[in-house]
Structure 1
């Protein structure tokens, strides 16, 4: 999520300092409500929708009944579904806010190429050095959203009069703050479905009609006799994985990592399979998911490439799928395996390397027989894999 767990953790950390709402003399600074800013070519449409929602939510908290209802929900749940809460609230301000939230949800889904039927994505969470029922009752919380700029030093927050307050991005606020952001994992799950559907429509991800099977007494991919009594297929399974840098600043929350596994399908056409990694949140941390990465029964050769990507805000999954298809459909089977990592990277428009799908790392020519630890081509990710046979029931 873009303003969720890592932002909340950083803002609530005991080691951090106080609220940065001061002038040089230490007095609070509040600016009058600004006129809506025009969206520029370099701005983030998703961040703009989050900021507009944050300001509208702040103004709505002038209604005491709605303020109490939101406080109760936020104290009970780390991430509150804002659309659902406004839809069920009887407070007058919540009903007015519901229209703004619904419009923002539509804008975000369209920007990310998710289309109709996308589940609600906007969430609200609490941050602050002292966040409890008493502190929420003592002062109306500010409302903020994560900035589009990864290097931003301050975060814009709003009060119930619509005034702007600037919070230091590295300091914990004394006053409670509601954070508005997109549920990144929900957006990624919906986006991967879009990629799978559009690539399959182009013939780049259609499941194989026949699954490779190992039968008793036959040789498996390693050349050893198989004693498996049941049919099934060989896979490459992730034992552990880590990334030194997931290209996600702390105030944008956890990373949303997904993999593009590519090779040549059993029909001889380029094949792309998406694998989401919702557990891979923090850089420098090793995870042990035991997750299947490659199903070798779907591939013609015993080699595949893996590209690790991260959804970084305005990812348009439909556009990503179209860009991949446009390049990969030009690659033909020459009777020998051809690495596809470079083709995938070349498919990314230049603008997508700035606050869009970030390239994390890639693994060239991962073989069906590969076991042990591999370091990515960019030396950013480390992957330990094993061969794993999946038996049919």
Structure 2
């Protein structure tokens, strides 16, 4: 699922000069990921003409919500053309997302909606579509086993069975954030944690989280949410910590993660900012790390806390605000003593937090 994007002020929509290079990389990622997925979708549709492979995919799709394409193509019934397409696409996508080989296989296939299960009979040859990153798209292109393209409504769930080629965004986000943390550490934006005070340290814990959004097209999968926590480290330099929130799948749903959001022993001041983002198939984590480093390394400690949300939003490549709805919400000046329900600045998110003491063992 893609959360609705915010109409940003001109300064944010422009992306800022720090994001220019990253925007170019992000644009390249968009075309490469989409093209790779489209090639695999066409090959998968053609492969469904074979009854043995079609039965294998059907059985896997009915048994699991998401099925890794690498595992499907490892079987004897998978055509060589599909196996080769998946292998080539995995490599291309990993490069486009700035992941290298860290994430492993990412491509997967799923049935477009649970309501399609009744139509997925043994004799059915489903269409194959690609999960679009544009939640405003009115139509979706799907392919049949003869290579013909069909236009489907993006807002009305088809009655016929449609397989959707997508990425395992939970895995990609976890690997991507690890890459971001590593890159930011090399840039000096993720300094080593300060020694905890004797007995433990204070944190801010998320007791519950709720996100608003509009109704989403049937073809989109679950959201993949992460947060960027920023403040000034004990060394006086800007510090950035990423927090993965893989449980945040659906809008209009309250989740109770009991998750640590801020470790206050890492920060000089008793204030920090939080920017919540959604990862999608086109997110380039190398570009994200570079954009953040370019923008935040220019900010110095002036002896008092400086909010950093605007600097982060300015750093995000400008084309991330076009179709790719990456910005979810933000929380300014979260304090070490913050407690209760906190509404995001955008009004799209709501956190319930409390101070939480982490004691030494």
TM-score under structure 1 normalisation?
0.80
Do residues 390 (structure 1) and 358 (structure 2) align? yes
Indicate whether 1:83 and 2:70 are aligned.
Answer: yes
Greater RCO, CA 8 A, separation 6+: 2
Matches of 2:242 and 2:259 in 1, distance apart? 13
* Among 34, 37, 54, the residue aligned to 1:50: 37
The equivalent residue for 1:222 is none
2:103 corresponds to: 118
Q: Which residue of 2 aligns with 1:271?
A: 239
Match of 1:139 among 124, 127, 149: 124
Contact 2:154 2:218 in 1 (8 A): no
Q: How far apart in 2 are the matches of 1:238 and 1:187?
A: 23
- 1:11 matched residue in structure 2: none
Q: Does 1:185 align with 2:170?
A: yes
Shift of 1:248: 6.6
The 5 Å alignment of 1:231-380 reads 231-245=199-213, 250-356=218-324, 358-380=326-348
Structure 1 distance, partners of 2:254, 2:128, is 34
Query: Alpha carbons of 1:124 and 1:196: their partners in 2 closer, same or farther (altered >3 Å)?
Result: same
Q: CA, structure 1 residues 388+83, in 2 after alignment: closer, same or farther (shift >3 Å)?
A: same
User: What residue is the counterpart of 2:81 in the other structure?
Assistant: 96
Assess if the C-alpha contact under 8 Å between 1:240 and 1:286 holds in 2. Answer: yes
Change (3 A) 1:247 1:153: closer
1:155-170 equivalent positions in 2, closer than 5 A? 155-170=140-155
Specify which of 64, 80, 85 is matched with residue 51 of structure 2: 64
1:115: Cα distance to partner?
1.2
How many residues align structurally?
336
SS in 1 for 2:122: helix
CA contact under 8 A between 1:47 and 1:148: conserved in structure 2?
A: no
Alpha carbons of structure 1 residues 293 and 269: separation in structure 2 relative to 1, 3 Å: same
Comparing 45-54 and 181-190, the one that deviates more? 45-54
Mean Cα deviation higher: 280-289 or 96-105: 280-289
The answer as to whether partners of 2:264 and 2:270 remain within 8 angstroms in 1 is yes
Q: What is the deviation of 1:347?
A: 0.9
For 2:39 and 2:260, the matched residues in 1 are separated by 40
Match of 1:197 among 177, 182, 192: 182
Name the SS of the counterpart of 2:253 in structure 1: coil
Give yes or no for contact 2:47–2:78 (8 Å, CA) kept in 1. Answer: no
Tell me, yes or no, if the aligned pair for 1:312 and 1:355 is still in contact at 8 Å.
no
3-state secondary structure, aligned to 1:180: strand
Residue 187 of structure 1 deviates from its aligned partner by: 1.1
SS in 1 for 2:306: coil
Q: Name the stretch that deviates more: 359-368 or 200-209.
A: 200-209
Shift of 1:50: 1.7
**1:78 aligns to what SS in structure 2?**
coil
The CA distance in 1 between the partners of 2:41 and 2:285, in whole Å, is 25
CA distance in 2, matches of 1:42, 1:290: 34
Higher mean Cα deviation, 78-87 or 146-155?
146-155
TM-score by length of 2: 0.87
Tell me the CA shift for residue 117 of structure 1: 3.2
Instruction: For residues 298-345 of structure 1, give each alpha carbon's deviation from its aligned partner in whole angstroms, at most 9, with x where no partner exists.
Output: 111111111111113311111110110111111111111111111111
CA apart distance, 1:42: 11
SS in 1 for 2:219: helix
120-129 or 340-349, larger mean C-alpha shift: 120-129
Is the 1:314–1:355 contact (alpha carbons within 8 Å) kept by the matching residues of 2? no
